Structure 1
Amino acid sequence: MRAFLGEGPFVFTSPERRNALGRGTTAVFAATLIYNSKRSGHVELGDRRFELRRVAFPLAPSQEWFVVELFENAERAGTSRTELAKALTRALPRNAFDRERLTEMAQRYGTKATRVPISSALPATST
């Protein structure tokens, strides 16, 4: 991928990261999703398919960013934002995620359709 995209930053999504909420929402994606700063589209390299997205992303993505990324791709991951919000509500009391960082990542990288269920889950689990 480095040879294809050059020196620009990029982030691979992965099943482990995508399953941060324990939802098992990893098998629906037919292509590995790669966020980058140069290209959008589909590409095949060797035997593997990749979907490239040229969008804003943190250079060092946190677990909280991957939660936002999962909400952004809920339908493609075979779930709904409602189900993800329920899973997030269950995960937050276990301190699985930093609430402030999650709020920041949702505000910075999430659409309104993502920000609303995430912010709704946060007050429900406040201590």
Structure 2
Amino acid sequence: MPKVDNLKFHLRPGQVYRRENLQQWTTAVDRHLAELVEEGTLKKVAPGMYYFPKATAFGDAPPADSELVRAYLKDDEFLLTSPNDYNGLGVGTTQLYNKTIVYNHKRHGDVKLGNRVFSFQRKPRFPKKPTVEFLLVDLVNNLSSLAEDPTAVLGNVRVRVQQLDARQLKTSVKRFGSAKTQKLFASFLQ
């Protein structure tokens, strides 16, 4: 069996691979990667990162955002979020944003992976999964970057605070809120 076929044998549809992960199955990794990209078996998503497309009835499916970010960061310590997530909080945010934010411990800045741009933000703490309390705190942290009227949104946040579990909200504010956000929520929770 040719060495490139040995490499193909180990690829799984829908997976993102780093160059160094593929070296174990071939002695000519760069040549074989170039061949696989040229024939369309793999797609290059970033320097040293490749995606094995999953075929669907509508064509090749793009890789999941979480798979791209996991391969880029080389770990699972991240949270994918978007300003669109605030729209479900019932505080008057309705804008749609074409922005994916990645809270993580390693990287900072905008990075293009495939045909998507991810905004990496280094944070000391973030939850594994976003909760309503976390999203409310995150919204107030990022209020100045949103298109909505900050005064109207803060008025709605004040009302929404009364509908949530005070202990969980205080914990989220303490863990994830900036100094300004903590001060605002202290006035809301009195």
Q: 1:17 aligns with which of 58, 68, 85?
A: 85
| Counterpart check, 1:118 vs 2:185 | yes
Instruction: Give the corresponding residue for 2:100.
Output: 32
Q: What does the per-residue CA deviation read over 1:9-44, in whole Å, with 9 as the maximum and x for residues that have no partner?
A: 1111135522224322543x4531110122111101
Name the structure 1 match of 2:46: none
> Quick one: which of 48, 73, 76 aligns to 2:142?
73
Q: What are the ranges of 5 or more consecutive residues in structure 2 without an aligned counterpart? A: 1-68
Post-superposition offset of 1:2: 1.6
> What SS does structure 2 have at the residue aligned with 1:38?
coil
Going from structure 1 to structure 2, the CA distance change for 1:73 and 1:15 (only over 3 Å counts) comes to: closer
Aligned residues: 120
Contact 2:158/2:188 (CA < 8 Å) preserved in 1?
yes
State the 4+ residue runs in structure 1 displaced beyond 6 angstroms.
Answer: none
Q: Normalising by structure 2, what TM-score?
A: 0.55
Distance in 1 between residues matched to 2:98 and 2:152, nearest whole Å: 22
Q: TM-score normalised to the size of structure 1? A: 0.79
Call closer, same or farther: CA 1:120–1:84 in 2, change over 3 Å: farther
C-alpha spacing 1:100/1:80, structure 2 compared with 1 (3 Å): farther
**Greater RCO (Cα-Cα under 8 Å, separation 6 or more):** 1
Which amino acid is 2:176 matched to?
Answer: Y
Residues 25 and 122 from structure 1, CA distance in 2 versus in 1: closer, same or farther, beyond 3 angstroms? farther
Whichever residue aligns with residue 126 of structure 2, its letter is F
Give 1:57's aligned residue: 126
SS of 2:145's equivalent?
coil
| Structure 1 equivalent of residue 157 of structure 2 | 88
Percent identical: 30
Describe the SS at the equivalent of 1:22.
coil
Say if 1:82 and 1:117, in contact at 8 Å, map to a contact too.
no
**Do the aligned residues in 1 keep the contact of 2:93 with 2:148 (CA within 8 Å)?**
no
Deviation at 1:5, TM superposition (A): 1.6
